[in-house]
Amino acid sequence: MTDALRRFDLAIIIPAIALVSAGILILSTTGDPGQTGLDHKAVQQGVFVAIGLAAALVMAFLDYRLLNAVALPAFIGGTILVAAVVVFGDANLGAQRWFVVGPIVIQPSEIMKLAAIVFLARYLARRGEGVRSIRTLLLSLLIMLVPAALVFIQPDLGSALVFVAIWLAMVFVAGARWWHALIPAGMALAAFPFAWFFAQDYMRERFVAFLDPSSDPLGAGYNVLQARISIGSGGWWGQGIGQGTQSQLEFLRVRDTDFIFAVLGEQLGFVGALGVILFFTILLAQAVIISIRARDDFGRYLAIGIAGMLFFQSFVNIGMNVGLMPVTGITLPLLSFGRNSLVVTLAAIGILLSINAHRTAAPHRQQGVWWVSSVRRMAARPESPPRP
Amino acid sequence: MAVNGDQTGQTAPGAPGTKSDGGASANRKLRRGLILGGAVLAANSALAGRLWQLQVVETETYQEQAARNRLRTEPVRPVRGIVFDRNREPLVRNLPEFGVWVTPADVPKSREGSIIASLAALTGERPDDLRFKLSQARYDPGRPVQVAGDVQRDSALAIEERRHDLPGVQVRSGIRRQYLHGDAFGHMLGFVGPVPAESLEEYQALGVGFDETVGLAGLERQFQGALRGTDGSRKVEIDALGRELNEIESEAPVEGRHLVLTVSVREQRAIREILARHLALRDAGAGVAVVIRPEDGSVVALASLPDYDNNAFGAGGDPSVLTRLVTDPRRPLINHAVAGLYPPGSSYKVIAASAALETGIVLPQTKIRCDGQLVLPTGWAFNDWLPTGHGMVDLHRGISESCNIYFYNISGGNPYTNLTGFGNRRLVEFERAFGFGEASGIDLPGEAAGLVPTAEWKQGNLGQPWVTGDTYHAAIGQGLVQVTPLQIAMMYSAIGNGGRLLRPRLVDRIVDTQGNVLQRLPVSERGQLPVSEGHLRLLRNALLEAVNGRNGTGKYARSEFAVVAGKTGTAEYSGTRDSHGKLPSHAWFAGYAPAENPEYAFAVLVRDGGEGAFAAAPIARDIIDYLMTGEMPPLPQDRPDFIPPTRRLS
């Protein structure tokens, strides 16, 4: 009974429900007036929220440790799918990112994110302290670079970066040495000129536009500028639901996905936009707490991987909307219109609930507030060899 | 640290293969987890801070920018004014047409090339022209500009249909000028066209858009400002594709002013027709007829042939017509009435006559001997047109029979008698006082000033000293003298009205759309002829005699319907001599009618027409006949006294 209750960790569930609801609310104002019924994106989003919630429930009630068993097949299968989409997928907007199977659209890179987290969590948990060796670290990096490279050539720079971000979060918590972090950083620096050379034109344009959005206000810089205007014109309380000239008169583009936060900022203002950030912060903080309190390293790394994924995507997307980050095509988890990503994200949240539910009796039950005890434990400096 | 140990221990079962090194590893994981949590908090705080900056601190800036996105202020072009004749009959009409407009701010740079290519294909404009206009427009990118006018209805519809492919492009209705009396008023009205690239800045200083059509010639040019009116403006709400949603506010433009001219359609057309009939009898005939009202200087008719149909300059004009106009050696595009420069010939003699009388060089009755030739001691011979000579000639006969020798004597003097002549310096004063050497000030662009030759001018421009022969030539309107037909007409108008030299008036008044008179162009006097009343009477009698006397040179100008006074002119110019050894000459006739109380003053010029008496005088007669009766005279060749153009005064 207590397990069942613990699964319903409100610090996870309330923000998640609030964020998907906000997404549906905003999507209800951005569609074409001609769209009705299932054609309407808000309705479609609702359907996928329902599917995602079902997936989350299943995940929450399963023991996350069962994922150990599927980690390798899921990773290999996912990699094959991602590779296949590069070769066979439907071209859309110059990129091949998904399959269409009847009415179902499958975007392997979304599924792959979760599969990679599970596999890497398993790998790191098995290696234990081995992550402190350079060999293990590089092998773990290789695990993530395989899917990252495959999505990069789709081309989907944003998703590729998500894999790298997830890896960083997970090896960091697993205990990789600080100075080892210099190795991938140095590699990235060395790779930059080559990346620039091989990058798609749109990537370069976006990078330049990020540095100076007014360089071509109607070209690459257009969306960035319009997003900033949308958010800025929202003011304290916003223009109101379904109001706001930036989104309603379509000066702002890609309102359903990349720039949904800007629409929200225009319609709901500072209060609404800050609310979104707050809910993400609560959700992420709780994910980190779940990681810290996890029963085992596999759960710990799984939770931190999910947190890293959610954090990186939400931060980069909102950062792009407010002009702090370049345009990378990363959508806002839980809010942006998306079929696969929504289901995968909600499933990942279900996994968080499962990790939370299967933790052992937490120390705070005996010692009061958990983080007080945690800080106390750190203060005790257990690294020093125990005195005889 | 039992708790740590417990926790690490508890981790082990769930993670197969986990190697525990005790509390150190667990604490590191805890610490790093907390660091990550802290990073999340810090990063999201940064986002929140940025939100505060955008939505609270700088919100007004962005609200303004959003409004600028949403609202577009665009000029409302006034409708160009109409030009009416004296009887308020319109000479030009504004026809509706489709124009293609582009708002540069809504054209993505990356698609500019393809949009220009599509527009060029749909409108028939040259891509380079479109590119130029668009590049100009980018200085004020929010403002829509017209890039093509007079677009076919089908093309306009096609552009509307392809709107999604053509962001920033709009089809709007505009106007096109249609001139109702093409040829007859071509020179007078001129035409409109796109702003010439070289005077772009000039026009922009006047608030004229580079995409507008402006007056480029004639009254359209001279009264560009009044005809154009003043822009209004409208503020509209638009969507991201530039589609107009609704109008927020608007200010109506001040519509273009209308001009009411002093000419009438009927008279202008008839007088042009009379001139054309006479010119039609010769090869490549070219000529000018100017008719003025002496009382106030109003223009009655102003014809310069060959002329052109100014509709040819509008959109859809035939390019071959334009080529012909540009290459015709008679230069039809120039209004020769105001911009053509010719030696005036004997019609100029009244100036020398006035100078002689006013300076007292001769008395009216002083007789001078004409042997048909005056040979100077230097050996230069100066001929009269009548080789046998006129005998003893006084002022009256000098003018009426147009004796050259008489005018040589009074102007440059005669080395064989003690007559000294008044000299060129004096002559120049009189020429200027009669209105020569400066533009008369008609309401048309491009009027020529002409040339009153002086010793300084000749030395400066030709590098030669002034000689007596130059004075002789100037006195009879030959040699270096250059005048416009309009200047001659204004001089005879002044003689006819008692000595008042007036500014010619072509525009009577400027009115607004309701017909209220905004400005009446004044009758203005440029000066008074420096001739006493008695002497003026002498001149007028001589001019009367020149037409009506037995030996008058202008007898072919006699009209049944009014007494005509006037003077012929045959102005030789350097060219190939004909079979009789004569130089080619322009034929003039200038005067006024009725002689006693003139209603009309006129100047007629037939370029390369030969004798003024035969080529120009009959035209003047037909014009006076018409003006007096209101009916077209018979064709010149149907008259019993018809003189074929080949005949010469022997």
- What number is the average pLDDT over the span A334-341? 90
- Classify the complex by whether its ipTM is higher than 0.95, answering yes or no: no
- B650: Cβ–Cβ under 8 A, 6 or more apart, which residues? none
Q: Which of B20, B21, B51, B248 to mutate to test the interface with A (most CBs of A within 10 A)?
A: B51
Rounded to the nearest angstrom, the gap between the alpha carbon of residue B613 and the centroid of all alpha carbons in its chain is 32
Cβ(A28)–Cβ(A22) below 8 Å:
no
Q: Which position has the higher pLDDT, A131 or B288?
A: B288
Burial B471-492 (b: 16+ CB within 10 A, else e): bbbbbbbbbbbbbbbbbbbbbb
pLDDT band at A90 (very low <50, low <70, confident <90, very high): low
Side chain identity at A308, as an amino acid letter?
A: G
Q: Which position has the higher pLDDT, A153 or B624?
A: B624
CA separation, residue B273 to residues B63, B306, B602, B635 (Å): 67, 11, 16, 10
Segment A191-224, tens digit of pLDDT? 777 777 766 676 677 666 655 555 555 555 778 8
Q: Do B3 and A231 make contact, defined as CB atoms within 8 angstroms?
A: no
| Whole-number Å distance between alpha carbons of A48 and A23 | 12
Cβ(B40)–Cβ(B47) below 8 Å:
no
Q: Do B36 and A277 make contact, defined as CB atoms within 8 angstroms?
A: no
B16 interfaces chain A, CB cutoff of 8 Å: yes
Cβ(B101)–Cβ(B170) below 8 Å:
yes
Partnered with residue A100 across adjacent β-strands are: A105
Q: Is pLDDT of B14 > 80?
A: no
Sheet holding B92-102, edge to edge: B145-151, B92-102, B169-179
* Short-list A311, A278, A281, A291, CA closest to A351: A291
Picking from B40, B56, B62, the nearest residue to A281 by CB comes out as B40
What are the structure tokens assigned to A249, written together? 């008169």
Which of 106-135 (B) contact A at CB < 8 A? 106-110
| Whole-number Å distance between alpha carbons of B595 and B363 | 24
pLDDT value, residue B387: 86
CA separation, residue B610 to residues B23, B401, B551 (Å): 126, 17, 19
Q: Do B65 and A169 make contact, defined as CB atoms within 8 angstroms?
A: no
Establish whether the linkage from the previous residue to B594 is cis, with ω within 30° of 0: yes
Angle (deg, nearest 10), helices B485-496 and B533-548: 110
**Burial class of residue B10 (count of CB atoms within 10 Å of its CB; 0-12, 13-18, 19+):** middle
Partnered with residue B589 across adjacent β-strands are: B568, B604
Segment B442-473, tens digit of pLDDT? 999 999 999 999 999 999 999 999 999 999 99
pLDDT value, residue B494: 95
Q: Which position has the higher pLDDT, B646 or B293?
A: B293
Which of 223-252 (A) contact B at CB < 8 A? 226, 228-236, 245-246, 249-252
* Short-list B291, B228, B289, B223, CA closest to B262: B291
pLDDT value, residue A379: 57
Average pLDDT, chain A: 82
B246 interfaces chain A, CB cutoff of 8 Å: no
| CA dihedral sign, ordered B330, B335, B341, B343 | positive
- A254: Cβ–Cβ under 8 A, 6 or more apart, which residues? A223
Q: Is pLDDT of B106 > 90?
A: no
Sort out which chain B residues have CB atoms less than 8 A from A218's CB and list them.
105-110
Q: What are phi and psi of A157, to 5 degrees?
A: -60, -40
Q: Which of B6, B36, B65, B239 to mutate to test the interface with A (most CBs of A within 10 A)?
A: B36
Distance in Å from the first CA to the final CA of chain B? 143
Helix spans in B576-644 (H): 617-629
Side chain identity at B204, as an amino acid letter?
A: Q
Do the bridges between strand A95-101 and strand B500-502 make them parallel or antiparallel, or are there none, so unpaired? unpaired
Q: Do A125 and B18 make contact, defined as CB atoms within 8 angstroms?
A: yes
Segment B221-247, tens digit of pLDDT? 999 999 999 888 888 887 776 667 778
| Whole-number Å distance between alpha carbons of A256 and A38 | 16
Q: Is pLDDT of A109 > 90?
A: no
| Whole-number Å distance between alpha carbons of B602 and A107 | 92
Which of 64-103 (B) contact A at CB < 8 A? 65-67, 69-70
Q: Which position has the higher pLDDT, B6 or A351?
A: A351
| Whole-number Å distance between alpha carbons of B504 and B222 | 15
Picking from B13, B22, B36, the nearest residue to A172 by CB comes out as B36
B567 DSSP assignment = E
- What number is the average pLDDT over the span A48-63? 93
Picking from A128, A323, A378, the nearest residue to B19 by CB comes out as A128
Q: Do A295 and B14 make contact, defined as CB atoms within 8 angstroms?
A: yes
Segment A146-184, tens digit of pLDDT? 999 888 877 777 888 899 899 989 999 888 888 877 777
Q: Is pLDDT of A306 > 80?
A: yes
pLDDT value, residue A207: 66
DSSP line for B49-89:
HHHIIIIIISHHHHHHHHHHHHEEEEEEPPPPPPEE-TTS-
pLDDT value, residue B295: 94
pLDDT value, residue A24: 93
- What number is the average pLDDT over the span A360-372? 51
Question: Looking at chain B, how many residues does it have?
Answer: 650
pLDDT value, residue B176: 83
Average pLDDT, chain B: 87
- B393: Cβ–Cβ under 8 A, 6 or more apart, which residues? B367, B368, B369, B370, B401, B403, B405, B406
Cβ(B501)–Cβ(B483) below 8 Å:
no
B56 interfaces chain A, CB cutoff of 8 Å: yes
CA atoms within 13 A on the CB side of A223: 22
Count A/B contacts: CB-CB distance under 8 Å.
212
Q: Which position has the higher pLDDT, B103 or B346?
A: B346
Segment A231-280, tens digit of pLDDT? 999 889 988 888 887 887 777 877 888 889 999 999 999 999 999 999 99
* pTM greater than the 0.80 cutoff: no
Q: How far B117 CA sits from the closest chain A CA (Å)?
A: 19
pLDDT band at B6 (very low <50, low <70, confident <90, very high): very low
Q: Which of A249, A315, A352 to mutate to test the interface with B (most CBs of B within 10 A)?
A: A249
pLDDT band at B621 (very low <50, low <70, confident <90, very high): very high
